[in-house]
Structure 1
Amino acid sequence: MLAGATANAEPTFSAPKKPVLITRETGDHSVEEAYQMLLQGEDTLTAALHVCAAREDDPADHSVGYGGLPNEAGVVELDASVMHGPTRRCGAVGAVPGIRHVGQLARTVMERTAHVMLAGQGAHDFAVAEGFVAENLLTEPARKIWLLWKEHGRGFWGPGLDSPDFKLPPDAQRATPPGAISQLPRHPAPEDMPLVKQQIERGLALAKEAGIPESLHRTAVRELLWPTTGTINVSALNPKGEISSATTTSGMAFKIPGRLGDSPIVGAGCFVDPEVGSAGATGNGEENIKVVGAHTIVELMRQGRSPKEAGMEALRRIAKNYNNDMSRLRYLDMIYYILRKDGAYAGVSLWSTRGIESRKKFVVHDGTQRTEPCEYLFEGTTLSIHPF
């Protein structure tokens, strides 16, 4: 509960009466298990990492850990960061090959070294020295999806979306000229959805030609058109008002080797201020780094913004970086998961849907686990940056 605020003083937040946990949909029992851990007095970071580990262990989750989609060379590189509110410490790892539980590895960096971040082979070697098991994280389904992308996808070399030299794909539809967000349409142009459907139909045919099992066709096409930006962020809060957060990911699918997104960047993909709350992100990491999204959201809450208001302001800053040019913003996506120290929360997204899927959602557990729709800045869908 917001205890009080004046024009000259920061607001203070009292602890909730019961634990609160926020994350993305997981499809498993880990959220309920983590909540029970909080009820039993377990450390908040331990509870958050329990949910992360379940995703890192699931080979069907192509955005995290074992089964994550590889970089363009076919190597699975993982990133993670953690922030432990009770001790105000943090740890992170980036571009780590061959280590599944990088969320726990980030915590080990925090607890066992004088550093905040380790990366690449050095992070891998540190993990092995600390008893982590080195293994091949590329599963057969992920390998087949990667091969399909190698043959028909588009790489990340060349000017980025934010470059004046970037050329929009030939099938791009200019939704509107640059302008104020208040002037932007709330609905996608009518021609967009048929375009997306055509790309999906073409992708399904390519997946069949490539010999990918039918059960994986739609997954393969989804990754070909909208390469996983994946990730899972988990924030956990207990009745003492202690809060921690963790983010783990296999990063942008088919990325250039060594690429780091926002997930291992403390303040971008994950941030905790024990006096205010936490925030984390999934989506286009490069865009989130530019606005230091998680830190920005927490600071806005410190100034008195609600979780929803703070998250929407961070999304507006992403849009402003493109001068609110919808023809480019249609190729970006971002979701923020926000938890304030008093238990108030929000899930906000740049776009209301991804591809032709349903409304973006998030999971919250405050004694009752449920899925809620994200509030969004623009109604419509992210278009594919990787047309065939």
Structure 2
Amino acid sequence: MSQRRKFIKQSLMGSAVFFPGLAGAFSQSLEKFDPQREKPLLLSTWNHGVPANAAAWVKLNETGSILDAVEAGVRDTELDMENLSVGLQGLPDREGITTLDASIMRGDGACGSVAFVRQIKHPITLARAVMEKTPHVMLVGEGARQFAIAQGFTLEEEKLSPKARIEYDKWKVTSQYKPIINIENHDTIGMIGLAADGKLAGSCTTSGLAYKMHGRVGDSPIIGAGLYVDDEVGAATATGLGETIIRICGSFLIVELMRQGRSPQEACEEAVRRLVRKSKNIQDIQAGFLAINKDGDTGAYAVHPGFNFAKATAAGNVLLDSKSHF
């Protein structure tokens, strides 16, 4: 675990965290805040969810759009040079190439995603462009890159960030392909949000599994796996070993369980139980889920201890530990 992560975890765990300039933003929403049914509300995976929530909250107050908020929040993480699992600074695949995946979804069913994308600084914004400017849901690889160019996106120079280069050179000494997921080597950010008017939206972005096979795509850009949102029910997002999440359609499963009457917490726990039953070598696999229902109730659950998440409401922006199956 990096010294930075240790510092953040020790400093923020379980306490309200405010950022400069946000006190006013939060107080502006106090009159909308119901302590029993928290709206507006943002949930984000891992400790980088705290600054992501902060950026999202500012955008929500600027535009009133929960979709704008969840995009802006994870864009902040995509630019975080300390984060080696999101954005172009993320750890590369086995060939030394960084490829990115992202998805975004509104509660009315509109959604867009991109996968196996290179040289794009903000894949989440490209995913939104797919949603809003094409008849498709997903674009991948060279096709997504061509679409980005047509939409005026700037292609970034293709090179590893300094920290990613150091880690990749270390990995090449043995080049062992062991896709073991934990909080030290894979921190996808997923964000789901509920506006004061009851509208829901979500976003998910990642550079994927470190040292993956070239062309591998995880759960993050797959609607229903890494992200699913339905205004009639709620929203869910996932993090962890994508293959295990894809196999159970994790986020869709959680939303459907909530539709059937489960609470967000109960739905997250059932999703983890199913993932555990269907996965081999579960001792080496981490996966976690977050959920919100349309009333503002929340849930979080993981396979193993170590998964944390950020929760922002009008009362504050707090980092919390999730409960786990083991």
Same fold (TM > 0.5): yes
2:215 aligns with: 258
The structure with more radius of gyration: 1
1:125 aligns with: 146
Separation (CA, whole Å) in 2 of partners of 1:259 and 1:244: 26
- 1:49 alignment partner, one of 56, 59, 71: 71
- 1:269 alignment partner, one of 212, 226, 235: 226
**1:238 aligns to 2:195 (yes or no):** yes
2:261 aligns with: 304
Q: Is the 8 A contact 1:71 1:255 kept in 2?
A: yes
Partner deviation per Cα, 1:55-110 (whole Å, 9 max, x = no partner): 1111110010031111111110000011111x420001000011110011000001
- 2:245 alignment partner, one of 265, 279, 288: 288
Separation (CA, whole Å) in 2 of partners of 1:306 and 1:69: 36
Gaps of 5+ in 2: 1-35
Return closer, same or farther for 1:17/1:364 CA change in 2, 3 Å cut-off: closer
Q: Is the 8 A contact 1:16 1:241 kept in 2?
A: no
After superposition, where does 1:72-111 map in structure 2 within 5 Å? 72-85=94-107, 87-111=108-132
Separation (CA, whole Å) in 1 of partners of 2:297 and 2:141: 37
Q: Is the 8 A contact 2:44 2:52 kept in 1?
A: no
1:37 aligns with: 59
Separation (CA, whole Å) in 1 of partners of 2:103 and 2:224: 10
Q: Is the 8 A contact 2:60 2:69 kept in 1?
A: yes
Return closer, same or farther for 1:27/1:111 CA change in 2, 3 Å cut-off: closer
Separation (CA, whole Å) in 1 of partners of 2:49 and 2:275: 30
1:336 aligns with: 289
Q: Is the 8 A contact 1:20 1:365 kept in 2?
A: yes
**1:248 aligns to 2:195 (yes or no):** no
Return closer, same or farther for 1:282/1:17 CA change in 2, 3 Å cut-off: closer
Partner deviation per Cα, 1:161-193 (whole Å, 9 max, x = no partner): 9xxxxxxxxxxxxxxxxxxxxxxxxxxxxxxxx
**1:146 aligns to 2:168 (yes or no):** yes
Q: Could you tell me the TM-score, scaled by structure 1's length?
A: 0.71
- Number of residue-to-residue matches in the alignment: 288
Q: Is the 8 A contact 1:96 1:121 kept in 2?
A: yes
Q: Which runs of 4+ in 1 moved over 6 A?
A: none
Return closer, same or farther for 1:342/1:257 CA change in 2, 3 Å cut-off: same
Separation (CA, whole Å) in 1 of partners of 2:50 and 2:254: 28
C-alpha deviation, 1:29, in angstroms: 3.6
1:22 aligns with: 43
Q: What SS is found at the alignment partner of 1:75?
A: coil
Q: Is the 8 A contact 1:21 1:235 kept in 2?
A: yes
CA RMSD of aligned residues (A): 2.1
The amino acid of 1:59's aligned partner reads M
Return closer, same or farther for 1:98/1:40 CA change in 2, 3 Å cut-off: closer
The amino acid of 2:303's aligned partner reads L
Gaps of 5+ in 1: 1-14, 162-222, 354-359, 379-388
The amino acid of 2:311's aligned partner reads V
2:28 aligns with: none
Partner deviation per Cα, 1:102-139 (whole Å, 9 max, x = no partner): 01100000111111100011111111111111112521
Separation (CA, whole Å) in 2 of partners of 1:64 and 1:283: 13
Q: What SS is found at the alignment partner of 2:186?
A: coil
Partner deviation per Cα, 1:41-60 (whole Å, 9 max, x = no partner): 52111101111111111111
Separation (CA, whole Å) in 1 of partners of 2:49 and 2:277: 35
Separation (CA, whole Å) in 2 of partners of 1:45 and 1:121: 26
Return closer, same or farther for 1:137/1:52 CA change in 2, 3 Å cut-off: farther
Separation (CA, whole Å) in 1 of partners of 2:159 and 2:133: 25
Separation (CA, whole Å) in 1 of partners of 2:55 and 2:268: 27
Q: Could you tell me the TM-score, scaled by structure 2's length?
A: 0.84
